[in-house]
Chain A
Amino acid sequence: MTPSDWLVRLAYELEESHRYRRFKHRVWELLEDPHAPMRPYFDIFMMTVVLVSVFLLLYSVKHQVGPWAGWFEDGVVTLFVIEYLARLWVYDDVHRHVIEAYEKSELVNEPFRASPALWSAIRAKWRYMTTPLAIVDLLAILPSYRPLRILRIFLLFRLFKLFRYAQNIQEFATVFREKRLELFTLFTFLTFILLVGASAIYLFEAREEGGQIDSFFESIYWALVTLSTVGYGDITPNSAEGRLVTMVLIIGGLGVISFFTSIVVSAFQEKLGDVHDRQVATLLQKKKGYVVICGFGRVGEVVAGFLEGDHRDFVVVDDDEARVSEARRRGYLAVRGRAEELGMLRKLGVGRAAGTVLCLTGNDVANVYATLTARQLDSGIQIISRANHHGTLHKLMLAGADHALEPYKIVGLIAGEYVGQPVAFEAIHGIVMGQKDIALETVRVPRGSWLDGRPIGEVPLADFRLILFGVITPLDRESDEVRSAYDLGRLRFQFNPGADFVVVGDDLLLVFGHKYSVLRLRHRLKS
Chain B
Amino acid sequence: MSAAQPPRKVMVVGTGLVGLVVARQLRERGERVRVVDNDPERVEQARALGFDAERVDLQDDDALRALGIADDLDVLFALLDDDASNVFLVISVRALAPKLRIVSISETEETLQRLYAAGATKVIDPYQISGYKIYELMSRPVIAETLERTVFGRDVDLEIAEIPVPAGSFLDGVPLDELDLGERYDLVVLGVVDRFYGDHLIFATDTRRHRIDADDVLVVIGPRRALERLRGELEKS
Contacts and interface: CB of A to CB of B under 8 A. Distances in A.
Interface of A: 291, 297-303, 305-307, 310, 312, 356, 358, 360, 382, 384, 386, 389-390, 403, 405-428, 431-434, 438, 440-442, 462, 465-470, 472, 483-484, 486-489, 491, 493, 495-496, 498, 508, 510, 512-513, 517
B132 A484 contact: no
Interface in B180-237: 182-183, 186-191, 193, 199-201, 203-205, 207, 217, 219, 221-223, 226
A491 to B, nearest CB: 8
A424 to B, nearest CB: 4
B131 A301 contact: yes
Contact of B147 (A389, A432, A465, A508): A432
A425 B161 CA distance: 8
A424 B162 contact: yes
Contacts of B130: 299, 302, 386, 405, 407, 410
A462 B190 CA distance: 13
A423 B219 contact: yes
Contacts of A441: 143
B127 A298 contact: yes
B20 to A, nearest CB: 9
Contact of A302 (B132, B139, B140): B132
B143 A433 contact: no
Contacts of B136: 434
Contacts of A297: 127
Contact of A427 (B28, B152, B183, B219): B219
Nearest to A427: B201
A513 B134 contact: no
A125 B33 CA distance: 80
Given A408-B126, A428-B160, A418 B103 contact: yes
Nearest to B135: A306
B21 interface: yes
Interface string B11-44: 0000001100110111011010000000000000
A421 B201 contact: no
Interface stretch (B2-10, B53-61, B62-70, B85-93): B2-10
Contacts of A406: 21
Nearest to A410: B129
B47 to A, nearest CB: 19
Contact of A469 (B107, B133, B205, B221): B221
B122 interface: yes
Interface string B95-110: 0000001010101100
Given A420-B8, A512-B203, 9 more contacts: A312-B139, A408-B22, A411-B126, A414-B129, A420-B31, A431-B190, A470-B146, A508-B142, A512-B190
B205 A421 contact: no
A510 B146 contact: yes
Contact of A486 (B21, B133, B157, B204): B157
A424 B133 contact: no
Given A306-B135, A427-B219, A418 B122 contact: yes
A213 B5 CA distance: 105
Contact of A384 (B138, B162, B203): B138
Contacts of A416: 2, 22, 25-26, 28-29, 31
Contacts of B183: 498
Nearest to B31: A419
Nearest to B109: A298
Q: Name which of B1, B10, B17, B152 has the most chain A CB atoms within 10 A of its CB.
A: B1
Contacts of B21: 390, 406, 408-409, 411-412
A415 B124 contact: yes
B199 A423 contact: yes
B158 interface: yes
Contacts of A442: 140, 142-143
B161 A486 contact: no
Contacts of A465: 205, 207
A495 B147 CA distance: 12
B118 interface: no
Contacts of A467: 188-190, 204-205
A465 B130 CA distance: 30
A462 B177 contact: yes
A424 B219 contact: yes
A299 B127 contact: yes
Contacts of A510: 142-143, 146
B137 A488 contact: no
A307 B74 CA distance: 38
A441 B136 CA distance: 11
A468 B79 CA distance: 38
B143 A496 contact: no
A441 B143 CA distance: 7
Nearest to A466: B205
A75 to B, nearest CB: 54
A487 B146 CA distance: 9
A488 to B, nearest CB: 5
Contact of A424 (B108, B156, B161): B161
Contacts of A517: 205
A507 to B, nearest CB: 11
Given A405-B130, A410-B126, A433-B132, A426 B199 contact: yes
